[in-house]
Amino acid sequence: MSAGEPGELGEGVLALAALDEALDRLAHELAGLPARRALEALDAELEACRRRQAGLAAERDRLAGEQAALEAQVEAARLRRDQLEARARSGQIRAARDLAAIDEEMQQLARHVAGLEDQELALMEALEPLEAELAGLAAELADLEERRAGRAAELAAAEREVEAQQAALLPEREARARALPDEVLARYEAIRRRVGGPGAARLVGGRCEGCHLTLPAMEVDRLRRAPGGTLGTCEQCGRILVPVH
C-alpha cells in the first residue's frame, strides 16, 4: 500500500461516515418537513380559535342562565297574577278595601313583570352578537380542521417517503459497522455521539473535512505516513481522520 491510500480500514470507516451523514441529513429533513411547520401553525390557530370559542361559550351560558332565572321570575309573577285575578272574579270578595288591595298587588305585579321583561330584552340583545360570533367561529373551526386534516395527510406522506429512504440505508449501515473491528467501531460511535454527526472525516490536503480546520503541516505529514492499519485523529475535533488524495 502506498502512502496516501486510505487502506481498507480507512475506506470502511469513511463508508460508515458517509452513510451516517446521509442518515443525519434525512433525520434533519424529517424534522424540518415544511408540512410539519404548516401543521404546527394550523394547530396554533386551532388552539387560539378553540380558546376564543370556550370563552364566548362560557359568557353565552352565563347570560343564558340569567335569562332562565328571569323567565322563572316572570312565570312566578304571572302565576300569582292569575291567582289574584281568579280570586277577584270569584265574587267571594266583596269588601271594596280587599278588592282595592288585590288591584294594587296586580298593578305591582304588572310593573314587576314589565321590569323583568326589559331585563330579558337587554339580555337577548347581548346574546345575539355572541351567538353570531360563536356561529362564525364554528364555521372557522370546521374550515381549519379540514385544512389540518389535509396537511396531516401531506405530512404523513412526506414522512413515509423520508423514512423509506432511511430504511433503505440502515442495512448497509449495519453491514458497514459490523465489518469494522470492535474497538474501531466503539471509538467511532463514541466520537459520533460526542460530535453529533459522523465520527470520521477525510483529510484532504491539510484540512479535516469534519471540522474544516487546517492541521499543522507536521501533523498532516505524520498522518499521511502512518501505516494503513492505523487510524489518525483530528486534534481539533477528535474525529477519526482518514487521509485521501
Spatial separation of the C-alpha atoms in residues 240 and 232, rounded to whole Å: 6
Least separation in angstroms between CB 226 and Zn ion:
16
Spell out, one character per residue from 170 to 209, where the chain touches Zn ion: x when CB under 5 A holds, - when not: --------------------------------------x-
Is there binding between residue 166 and Zn ion (CB under 5 A)? no
Instruction: Give exposure, 19-46, as e/b (b: 16+ Cβ within 10 Å).
Output: bbebbeebeeebeebebbebbeebeeeb
Is there binding between residue 211 and Zn ion (CB under 5 A)? yes
Least separation in angstroms between CB 210 and Zn ion:
4
Sites for Zn ion among residues 89-108 (CB under 5 A): none
Is there binding between residue 77 and Zn ion (CB under 5 A)? no
Is there binding between residue 233 and Zn ion (CB under 5 A)? no
Degrees to nearest 5, angle at CA 91 with 86 and 96: 100
Long-range contacts of 173-179 (CB under 8 A, 24+ apart): 173/16, 173/19, 173/20, 173/23, 176/12, 176/15, 176/16, 176/19, 177/16, 179/12
Is there binding between residue 12 and Zn ion (CB under 5 A)? no
Degrees to nearest 5, angle at CA 73 with 67 and 74: 90
- Of 70, 74, 185, 234, the residue at the interface with Zn ion (CB under 5 A) is 234
Q: Give the total of residues touching Zn ion (CB under 5 A).
A: 6
Sites for Zn ion among residues 15-74 (CB under 5 A): none
Chain positions contacting Zn ion, by CB under 5 A: 208, 210-211, 234, 236-237
